[in-house]
Amino acid sequence: MKFYSECIHPANMFGMMSLWIDVDPINRTIRDSRFMDFAERINMVEAWQRFGWPDLIPVDPRRA
């Protein structure tokens, strides 16, 4: 999360896409307690609120 926060670039797209594979241990990243803070910092939460939450995070876990 630190790496992606500091270096958001189109070249990182495939790495970011792999976060959504529902397979352990890959999905541990999105289940990490710090992930939502990361998603907020890079404006993913704002996009999800506007366009819909991803299947693996159907609602904002901070408000669930």
Please, what's the largest Cα pairwise distance for the chain?
33
Mean pLDDT for the stretch of residues 30-35: 89
| pLDDT at res. 60 | 87
Provide the whole-model pTM: 0.70
| pLDDT at res. 29 | 85
Average pLDDT, the chain: 83
Tokens of 14: 């495939």
Q: What is the CA 3 to chain-centroid distance, rounded?
A: 13
Mean pLDDT for the stretch of residues 9-37: 81
| pLDDT at res. 37 | 92
Q: Please write the tens of the pLDDT for every residue from 41-60.
A: 989 999 999 999 999 898 88
- Could you tell me the residue ranges of all domains in the chain? 2-51
CA–CA gap between residue 59 and residue 31 (Å, rounded)? 13
